[in-house]
Structure 1
Amino acid sequence: MAEISKSLDTALTSDSFWESINILISKPHVINRRLWGGKIWFKNSCKPKTAPFIMPATLHQLNDLVTTDNVDQYKIQILNELNVENVLSNTTDDEVQVEVLLMELLPKNYSDKQAYQVACSWKNKPLITFYDVTPSNQEQKLCPDFSYTIHLNNSHILLTAKTDENSKSFKWLSNTLLPQLIKWGTESKSHSTKSNMCNESLSLVSQTKYYEKYNDLKVKYGKEMVKIWPECTDASKFVYEDVAIAAYLLLLWERDEPSKSKSFVDLGCGNGLLVYILTQEGHTGIGIDVRKRNIWDMYPPGVVLQEKTITPTDTSLFPDIDWIIGNHSDELTPWIPVIAARSSYKCNFFLLPCCAYNFDGSKYQRKNSYKSQYNDYLDYIRQLCVQCGFNIDTDRLKIPSTKRICFVSNNRIYLEEEHTQYSNTIDDLINKGSTNTLQNIEKEFKAREPVERVKNCTQIDKSIVNSIVDCISKYLLEGCLESETTWSKGKTAEISELIHLIPKEQLSILKSECGGIQTLLKNNHNIFEVQSGRVGLRYPKTINEVNLVTRKRKFNKQTTIKVQQKPCWFYNNHPQGCPLSDSTCSFLHVKENK
Structure 2
Amino acid sequence: MEVLARAALRDPQRLLPGSFWAAVGAWLEKPHVANKRLSGARLTESPRGSRPGGMEAAWEALGSSELRHLLGLEGPGHQAPLEVALRTLLPKSSPPAPAHEMVLKDIVNGTVTFLPLEETQEGKYKVKICNVYQIQLLCTQDKEWSISILLSSPENYISDGILYPKTTWLGSELLSKLAKWSTEIMKREFKSTLSLISVARYSKIYQDLKEKYKKIVKVWPEVTNPEKFVYEDVAIATYLLILWEDERAERGLLKKQSFVDLGCGNGLLVHILSNEGHPGKGIDVRRRKIWDMYGSQTCLEENAVSPNNLYPEVDWLIGNHSDELTPWIPVIAARSSYSCRYFLLPCCFFDFHGKYNRRQSKKTQYREYIDYITEVGHVCGFNVEEDCLRIPSTKRVCLIGKSRTYLMTQEALLDEQRARYITGRQSFNKTASEKRDGLHQIDGFLIATDTTALIGDEEVPQKTDVENVLMSGFLPRGKEQMRNCTSLPQDFVNKVVLRVVQLLLSGSKESPPENTTKWNRGESLTLGEIAEHLDKKTLKTLKNEYGGLQTLLKNNHQVFEVLNGKVQIRDWREWKPPRKNKWHEQAQKRFPSGSFKTRLCWFHMHHPQGCPLVSEFCHYAHGTAELKAPLAVPKTNNVQQSSVASLTCCAQMG
Matches within 5 A, 1:32-47: 32-46=35-49
Matches within 5 A, 1:361-380: 362-380=354-372
Give the alignment's TM-score, normalised by structure 2.
0.60
CA positional deviation for 1:255 = 1.9
Give the alignment's TM-score, normalised by structure 1.
0.66
Aligned residue among 153, 170, 173 for 2:167: 170
Matches within 5 A, 1:284-303: 284-303=279-298
Q: Which residue of 1 aligns with 2:333?
A: 340
Q: Which residue of 2 aligns with 1:16?
A: 19
Does the Cα contact within 8 Å between 1:144 and 1:169 map onto a contact in 2?
no
Does the Cα contact within 8 Å between 2:261 and 2:317 map onto a contact in 1?
yes
Q: Distance in 1 between matches of 2:412 and 2:469?
A: 22
CA positional deviation for 1:433 = 4.2
Which has the higher relative contact order, 1 or 2, with Cα contacts under 8 A spaced 6 or more apart? 2
Indicate the SS of the match to 1:45: coil
1:421 counterpart = 2:413: yes
CA positional deviation for 1:184 = 0.7
Matches within 5 A, 1:259-274: 259-274=254-269
Q: Which has the larger radius of gyration?
A: 2
| C-alpha distance 4-184 of structure 1, shift in aligned 2 (>3 A) | closer
Q: Distance in 2 between matches of 1:164 and 1:554?
A: 41
CA positional deviation for 1:254 = 2.0
Aligned residue among 461, 471, 487 for 1:442: 471
Q: Distance in 2 between matches of 1:451 and 1:25?
A: 51
Residue 131 of structure 1 aligns to which amino acid in structure 2? L
| C-alpha distance 448-229 of structure 1, shift in aligned 2 (>3 A) | same
Q: Distance in 1 between matches of 2:392 and 2:383?
A: 27
| C-alpha distance 318-17 of structure 1, shift in aligned 2 (>3 A) | same
Query: Deviation per CA, 1:301-333, whole angstroms, max 9, x where unpaired?
Result: 121100111122x2x111221111111111100
Q: Which residue of 2 aligns with 1:551?
A: 580
Q: Which residue of 1 aligns with 2:136?
A: 151
| C-alpha distance 145-428 of structure 1, shift in aligned 2 (>3 A) | farther
| C-alpha distance 556-302 of structure 1, shift in aligned 2 (>3 A) | closer
Does the Cα contact within 8 Å between 2:285 and 2:303 map onto a contact in 1?
yes
Q: Which residue of 2 aligns with 1:5?
A: 4
Q: Distance in 1 between matches of 2:53 and 2:369?
A: 46
Query: Deviation per CA, 1:169-206, whole angstroms, max 9, x where unpaired?
Result: 1111111111111111111x3x3xx463x423323323
CA positional deviation for 1:37 = 0.2
1:160 counterpart = 2:170: no
| C-alpha distance 252-5 of structure 1, shift in aligned 2 (>3 A) | closer
Q: Distance in 2 between matches of 1:182 and 1:391?
A: 39
Does the Cα contact within 8 Å between 2:130 and 2:156 map onto a contact in 1?
no
Indicate the SS of the match to 2:413: helix
Q: Which residue of 2 aligns with 1:112?
A: 96
Residue 53 of structure 2 aligns to which amino acid in structure 1? D
Indicate the SS of the match to 2:43: strand
Q: Distance in 1 between matches of 2:214 and 2:49?
A: 46
Unaligned runs of 5+ in 2: 65-76, 140-144, 160-164, 431-464, 485-545, 548-562, 565-574, 589-654
Query: Deviation per CA, 1:235-280, whole angstroms, max 9, x where unpaired?
Result: 2221122112212222222222252122211000011111111112
Matches within 5 A, 1:168-207: 169-187=166-184, 189=185, 191=186, 194=187, 196=189, 198-207=190-199
Q: Distance in 2 between matches of 1:434 and 1:211?
A: 43
Larger deviation, residues 379-388 vs 434-443: 434-443
Q: Which residue of 2 aligns with 1:89?
A: none
Indicate the SS of the match to 2:131: coil
CA positional deviation for 1:217 = 1.9
CA positional deviation for 1:80 = 1.8
Residue 330 of structure 2 aligns to which amino acid in structure 1? P
CA positional deviation for 1:209 = 2.4
Residue 178 of structure 2 aligns to which amino acid in structure 1? L
| C-alpha distance 144-419 of structure 1, shift in aligned 2 (>3 A) | farther
Q: Distance in 2 between matches of 1:441 and 1:73?
A: 58
Q: Distance in 2 between matches of 1:294 and 1:145?
A: 56
| C-alpha distance 144-347 of structure 1, shift in aligned 2 (>3 A) | farther
Residue 133 of structure 2 aligns to which amino acid in structure 1? Y
CA positional deviation for 1:398 = 1.7
Query: Deviation per CA, 1:336-364, whole angstroms, max 9, x where unpaired?
Result: 0011111111111111111110111x221
CA positional deviation for 1:416 = 1.0
| C-alpha distance 427-206 of structure 1, shift in aligned 2 (>3 A) | same
Q: Distance in 2 between matches of 1:241 and 1:363?
A: 26
Q: Which residue of 1 aligns with 2:424?
A: 432
Residue 205 of structure 1 aligns to which amino acid in structure 2? I
Aligned residue among 109, 112, 124 for 1:125: 109
Does the Cα contact within 8 Å between 1:47 and 1:96 map onto a contact in 2?
no
| C-alpha distance 554-444 of structure 1, shift in aligned 2 (>3 A) | closer
Does the Cα contact within 8 Å between 2:237 and 2:269 map onto a contact in 1?
yes
Query: Deviation per CA, 1:421-463, whole angstroms, max 9, x where unpaired?
Result: 3212211110014348974773543445714667xxxxxxxxx
Q: Distance in 1 between matches of 2:168 and 2:59?
A: 30
| C-alpha distance 552-207 of structure 1, shift in aligned 2 (>3 A) | closer
| C-alpha distance 264-557 of structure 1, shift in aligned 2 (>3 A) | closer
Q: Which residue of 2 aligns with 1:68?
A: none
Residue 7 of structure 1 aligns to which amino acid in structure 2? R
| C-alpha distance 293-112 of structure 1, shift in aligned 2 (>3 A) | farther
Percent of residue pairs bearing the same amino acid type: 40
| C-alpha distance 78-409 of structure 1, shift in aligned 2 (>3 A) | same
Q: Distance in 1 between matches of 2:292 and 2:469?
A: 37
Query: Deviation per CA, 1:1-21, whole angstroms, max 9, x where unpaired?
Result: x94532211135222211111
Matches within 5 A, 1:522-561: 550-553=579-582, 555=584
RMSD: 3.4
Q: Distance in 2 between matches of 1:285 and 1:292?
A: 17
Q: Which residue of 1 aligns with 2:568?
A: none
Indicate the SS of the match to 2:166: helix
Q: Distance in 2 between matches of 1:108 and 1:262?
A: 28
Residue 186 of structure 1 aligns to which amino acid in structure 2? T
Q: Distance in 2 between matches of 1:195 and 1:239?
A: 29
Residue 108 of structure 1 aligns to which amino acid in structure 2? K
Does the Cα contact within 8 Å between 1:267 and 1:326 map onto a contact in 2?
yes
Indicate the SS of the match to 2:192: coil
Does the Cα contact within 8 Å between 1:97 and 1:123 map onto a contact in 2?
no
CA positional deviation for 1:117 = 2.2
Q: Which residue of 1 aligns with 2:616?
A: none
Residue 17 of structure 2 aligns to which amino acid in structure 1? S
Indicate the SS of the match to 1:257: helix
Give the ranges of 4+ consecutive aligned residues of structure 1 lying more than 3 Å apart after TM superposition: 41-44, 93-97, 134-138, 164-168, 435-441, 446-449, 451-454, 546-549, 556-559
Q: Distance in 1 between matches of 2:332 and 2:255?
A: 23
CA positional deviation for 1:144 = 12
Q: Which residue of 1 aligns with 2:272?
A: 277
